[in-house]
Amino acid sequence: MSSYVPVLTFHKIDETPSVTSFPPALFESFMEKLIRNGYRTVGLTDAVENLYRGAPLPEKTFVLTFDDGYRSVFSDAFPVMKRHGMSATVFLTVGDPAKPRPGGRMPPLNGSEMLSWAEVTEMREAGIRFGAHTLTHPDLTRLGTEKIEYEIVKSKEIIEGVLGEPVRSFAYPYGRYDERSMGIAERFFDCACSDELGLLTLESKRYALGRVDACYLKNERLTGLMLSGLFPYYVRLRNVPRKILRRLSRR
Ligand SMILES: [Zn+2]
pLDDT tens digits, residue range 61-98? 999 999 999 999 999 999 999 999 999 999 999 999 99
- Give the H or E element holding residue 169: strand 169-171
CA 173 to centroid of ligand 1, rounded, Å = 4
CA 38 to centroid of ligand 1, rounded, Å = 30
CA 136 to centroid of ligand 1, rounded, Å = 10
CA 20 to centroid of ligand 1, rounded, Å = 10
Most confident by average pLDDT, 25-29, 97-101, 219-223: 25-29
CA 102 to centroid of ligand 1, rounded, Å = 22
CB 90 within 8 A of CB 159: no
CA 203 to centroid of ligand 1, rounded, Å = 24
CA 39 to centroid of ligand 1, rounded, Å = 27
Report in angstroms the alpha-carbon separations of 139 from 44, 79, 152, 153, 184.
23, 32, 12, 15, 15
Domains of the chain, by residue range, sit at 7-249
- Tell me the C-alpha distance between 26 and 36, whole Å: 15
Helices then strands, each counted (H, E), the chain:
9, 8
pLDDT of residue 70: 98
CB 80 within 8 A of CB 34: no
CA 133 to centroid of ligand 1, rounded, Å = 7
CA 1 to centroid of ligand 1, rounded, Å = 32
pLDDT band at 249 (very low <50, low <70, confident <90, very high): low
- Tell me the C-alpha distance between 185 and 188, whole Å: 5
Q: What average pLDDT does this structure show over 161-190?
A: 97
Q: Which residues contact 242 (CB under 8 A, 6 or more apart)?
A: 197
CA 26 to centroid of ligand 1, rounded, Å = 22
CA 54 to centroid of ligand 1, rounded, Å = 30
pLDDT in tens, 107-138: 999 899 999 999 999 999 999 999 999 999 99
pLDDT band at 55 (very low <50, low <70, confident <90, very high): confident
Burial class (CB in 10 A: 0-12, 13-18, 19+), 120: buried
CA 139 to centroid of ligand 1, rounded, Å = 10
CATH of 7-249, one of 2.40.50.140, 3.40.50.720, 3.40.50.1110, 3.20.20.370: 3.20.20.370
CA 85 to centroid of ligand 1, rounded, Å = 25
Q: Coil, strand or helix: which one is 83? A: helix
- Tell me the C-alpha distance between 250 and 159, whole Å: 35
CA 3 to centroid of ligand 1, rounded, Å = 28
CA 68 to centroid of ligand 1, rounded, Å = 5
- Tell me the C-alpha distance between 227 and 86, whole Å: 17
pLDDT at 244 over 90: no
CA 67 to centroid of ligand 1, rounded, Å = 5
CB count within 10 Å of CB 53 equals 8
